[in-house]
Every structure is written in C-alpha cells, then in structure tokens.
Structure 1
Amino acid sequence: MTATIDIAALANLLQEAAVEEILPRFRNLGDGDVRMKSEAIDLVTEADEAAERFIRKGIEALMPDALFVGEESVAADPALLDRLEGAELAVVVDPIDGTFNFASGLTLFGMILAVVSKGETIGGVIYDPIGNDWALVEKGSGAWIYRPDGSQEQMQVRPSGPLEQMIGIANTGFFDIETRRKILSNLAEVRLFTSYRCAAHEYRLLGQGHMDFAMYNKLMPWDHLAGALMMQEAGAHVARFDGSPYLPHHTSGGLLVASDVDAWQELRERIFTVD
C-alpha cells in the first residue's frame, strides 16, 4: 500500500522554516556564516543548517517513521544516502537550493522536499520564500502552484516546437572538459540556454510553460526528486540519458526533461550526445 502524505502540512513546514531560519539571514550573513564545501561555488551557510534542523524536527512530529535525508545531514554522514533505496518511507530535503545565490544576496533560491515510499517518489514541495508560494505534487494528482491568497494553477509544460526555437536549462558544470565542449557547441542549435544555479526555480519555470527542456548531469536526490515528479505530472517526458527512469537512489546517469518523448529524443541525439 502506498503511503499517504499530508502535503499541506509539509508545505507549511517549509514556510515556517523559511520565516524562522532563512529569511532573517538573507542578505544578513556574517563573515563566519558561509563556508566552502567541495569547491568555491559549493557553499553551506548557517541558514542551510538551521533550516534543516527546523525541518527535521517538524518531520519527526509529522512523519515519525520516515527516514530523514537532508543535504547537510548527508554532508556530515555520507552513508545516510545509501539508506534511501531500501527505506519504507523517507523525506528528502534541500533546506536551501541555490545556496550560492542565497549567499550572494540573489533571490533565486528555494526549498525542496520530496517524499519517497519503497523506492518511488510519491510527493514533493518546492517553496519560494521570496514569492511565498509553493509548487506541490502528489503522484497521480497533478502538479500545482499554490499562492498565498489561496488561488491555484495546474502546472502544464508547453508543447514542443522546433529545436532552433527551444529555450531551456543546461547545467554542464559536472561533465569532463571534452564532453562539456561538445555539448556547449551543440547548444548553438537551440534558441537560448541558461542555468540559474537553482533547480527549484528551474523546475517551476518548466512546469509553468516558460521553457522547453532541462538537462542535469549530477543527480543528488534533494535537488531533483520533487522536480522530476512535478514535470511528469505536468506532462513532460523525464528520463536519464540512457532512456531509463530516474529513481530516488540514482546519483549518476544524467537527467533530461522535455515537453514530450519526441522532443526528448531530438535533444538527446542532437544536443546532449554524452556517450
């Protein structure tokens, strides 16, 4: 039996964490509040860690049987990530997606939460603390934007057009240099590509019909589980580079999202030739 989730309570929890721990620190970080992790563009702040502690405490009350997998928790204990595949129920959290932007004072950051049951993503929340609205998804029930005034809008990817008119997200930073050169050259065939360094906002843009595709190479579950399910529920074709489904335990193999399977195939063959 698939686990049931209280998506509204999870959405409210992210909002509370933002109000208590994130927004008071935005553009207000001290010299010792930002630290480098693996490289200069991979940062963690006091806000990330405080927000994750707040969310974890809330999850323990709302879903006491769930394994909690947070980005900062895994940074402290990498073995925690290995438990996700076999977990009966798990909650995966990125307390601040787009930490580099957040630490730089840019408003392009968000909060991501996904619920995993028996190796399958069944729900997710992407919250924008600045806009104070949510993208919510439950498997089989569509993906929706919920605004603070109570209004809601169903997410739907836009129909695909010709390759030369497509715009999208291409995160090429985790390829080897030769593959990166090839992909960047191929991307001259599309109309426009960019990277906001924030999957939370990138998935929301796709799901609201403002872009045609997204490509990621590095797959960490807190970045992509909620967004990938949202895109599927919004009508997109979502698969790893080899065409296989993207599952919660995958951390490699790339991810390509497109409006439909034909657009996916064209992008894969003509642009993202990574074999």
Structure 2
Amino acid sequence: MTETQMPETQLPQPATRLSPAQITNLANIIRRAARSEILPRFRNLTEGQISAKSGPEDLVTEADTAAEAMIARGILRIFPNAVVIGEESVAADPKLRIRAAEAELAFIIDPVDGTWNFAKGVPLFGVILAATRFGKPIFGLIYDPITDDWIWSSEDGPALQSEVGLLPRTLSTSKTTDIAKMTGVVHLSLMPKDVQQKFAPLIPDFARITGLRCSAHEYRLMAQGAFDFTLSSMLNPWDHAAGALITARAGGVARFLDGKDYDTATTEGTLLTAPSEATWTALRDKIAPAFGL
C-alpha cells in the first residue's frame, strides 16, 4: 500500500476548522496506524493480547490500545489544543467523555471498531474518527483497513467514499419507503430486556433485522443505501458520531426517538437513523411504543 493521495482540488471546501489538507493528514494518520498497529495483529493475536472489559463480549486487544495511542499522537500534532479521546482512554477515565462533549474542538477515536470480530479473526472491523464542536459532529471518517477505503464527510459537504488513486464518489441513502421491505440494524441484545420483549413482535414487520457487531460497517452500508435504518440504545460517541453525520450528509436523518438531533453529550435514549425525513417519522411512530414513547 502507498500513502493515500487526496488532492485538495478533489475535496469540497468545508466551512469548519478542518481544511482539505488537514483532512488528508487525518486520513493518512489512520491508514498508517492500521498498517503498523492493526493489520499485523489481525489473526495473529496471542491469548494474552486479548482481554475483556465490562464482560466476555466486550473485548479489547493490543491492537486497540496501540492504534488509539498512535492516532491520538498524530491528531495532537495537527491540533495541539484539541481534546482527543478514544474508546480505550474513556474506559480508563469516563470523565473524558464529558470533557470532549463540552470542548470547542474534540476528536473521538474508535481504533478498532468491531473488536469482537477482529479478535475472532473475522475481517469485518474498521477505524472510526469524528470531530465535534461542543458535542455536535463536524467531521466523520470511517476507514476499512481490509479494502483500504474510507467514507467521510464534513458538516456542510456531501458524504463521500474515497479510494487511493480514484476520485471520490458521492454516497446516497436508501430510497426504500415501504417498512415491509426494509433491512435494519437493531442492537437488540444491548437493549434492556423489557424493551427486547416489546420490540421482538415487530421484527416480522420488516424484511430483515440484522447486526454486524461493527458500527463502522453498519454505517458504511447505511450511507451506501444497503441498510435502511439503524437503531441503537448504546450511545457510545466513538460508535455513532461519525456515522450519524455521514448518514445525514448522504441524505438521511439521525435523531433520538424523542426527536432531538444527535449529539455526543446525550448518554441515555435511543438513536434512530433513517434514509429520509418521512421514513424516519414512519419508523419512529412504529418503533417508539416499544420504548415507552
């Protein structure tokens, strides 16, 4: 693999503090971290390099911690005054999440999203990076180390998919409007048991309810129009901040079921992303009673 080439003339000019050159640098930092800290460890981890955090399904590996540290160092070289947090640093100090939500500029890293897949040798994982301003996403990038491509967007630009040596292509959310034909990602096992029981009878009303154990690829497929909606009550900002922004810039909607727009400060609630305003409303009306709304 060679260094990513993203000529500035190919990038939309964002009305944010991130310039095209800075975006290019961020993409390169993530690609370098994937090549040096993530991919060499894929299917090459020893038992001692994998451990559990909150439970046996919540894993962390040596690749997670090493990649997060490398990406954080690279970001701080470009943005020395920014708050930089990652999934693993917040696990060690939960107060960092609040600090990031209150910061004028914060970067949020998920160094290996889909760690369970990664640790089990399943090639379905990614790196997620979001920039936020006072908790509102202003930039998001989701990188797939296996295919070496990334989707990304700024707060006022299109959602794009980029590959080395090729011009970026614009992404669009699904055009499906019939709920009976929709495929949705629902993190059902992570929801309270009473919600699971209330939501379960709704499953046959959709074409398919699924999950990939990887927000990176779930949001990639959402922005590409392959999935019709996502629903999650586990509101970790490293999972959702980039994907919520990219989905919105691809033509979709990302809101909590109570109607509030997505932000990283919200820690309780349920996030629903949908391909359009009308579809979001239809899905919310169908789903909300299961959550007591």
Structure-1-length-normalised TM-score: 0.97
Residues of 1 paired with 2:194 and 2:90: CA distance?
Answer: 30
Residues of 2 paired with 1:33 and 1:85: CA distance?
Answer: 31
Residues of 2 paired with 1:167 and 1:76: CA distance?
Answer: 36
Q: Which amino acid aligns with 1:183?
A: F
Aligned pair partner of 2:85 in 69, 82, 85:
69
Deviations 1:80-128, CA, capped at 9 Å, x for gaps: 1110222121110000000000000001100000011233211011000
RMSD between superposed Cα atoms in Å? 1.3
Partner of 1:4 in structure 2?
18
Residues of 1 paired with 2:252 and 2:16: CA distance?
Answer: 23
Q: Which amino acid aligns with 1:138?
A: S
What percent of counterpart residues are identical? 41
Aligned pair partner of 1:163 in 179, 183, 195:
179
Partner of 2:200 in structure 1?
184
> What secondary structure is seen at the aligned counterpart in 1 of 2:75?
helix
Aligned pair partner of 1:89 in 105, 127, 144:
105
Aligned pair partner of 1:203 in 219, 240, 244:
219
Residues of 2 paired with 1:142 and 1:2: CA distance?
Answer: 14
Residues of 1 paired with 2:18 and 2:168: CA distance?
Answer: 22
> What secondary structure is seen at the aligned counterpart in 2 of 1:179?
helix
> What secondary structure is seen at the aligned counterpart in 1 of 2:101?
coil
Q: Which amino acid aligns with 1:71?
A: E
Residues of 2 paired with 1:210 and 1:245: CA distance?
Answer: 23
Q: 1:102 to 1:252 in 2, by over 3 A?
A: same
Partner of 1:129 in structure 2?
145
Aligned length: 275
> What secondary structure is seen at the aligned counterpart in 1 of 2:231?
strand
Q: Which segments of 5 or more consecutive residues in structure 1 lack a partner in the other structure?
A: none
Q: CA deviation at 1:272?
A: 4.5
Q: Which segments of 5 or more consecutive residues in structure 2 lack a partner in the other structure?
A: 1-14
Q: CA deviation at 1:257?
A: 0.8
Residues of 1 paired with 2:248 and 2:52: CA distance?
Answer: 34
The reply on whether 1:173 has 2:192 as its aligned counterpart is no
- Which segment drifts farther, 227-236 or 261-270? 261-270
Residues of 2 paired with 1:177 and 1:13: CA distance?
Answer: 40
Residues of 2 paired with 1:2 and 1:136: CA distance?
Answer: 14
Could you tell me whether the CA contact under 8 Å between 2:190 and 2:233 is conserved in 1? yes
* Structure 1 runs (4+) greater than 6 angstroms displaced: none
Could you tell me whether the CA contact under 8 Å between 1:71 and 1:95 is conserved in 2? yes
Partner of 1:117 in structure 2?
133
Could you tell me whether the CA contact under 8 Å between 1:221 and 1:250 is conserved in 2? no
> What secondary structure is seen at the aligned counterpart in 1 of 2:110?
strand
Deviations 1:153-186, CA, capped at 9 Å, x for gaps: 1111021321111112111122221210221221
Alignment of 1:257-272 (within 5 A): 257-272=273-288
Could you tell me whether the CA contact under 8 Å between 2:149 and 2:163 is conserved in 1? yes
Could you tell me whether the CA contact under 8 Å between 1:168 and 1:211 is conserved in 2? yes
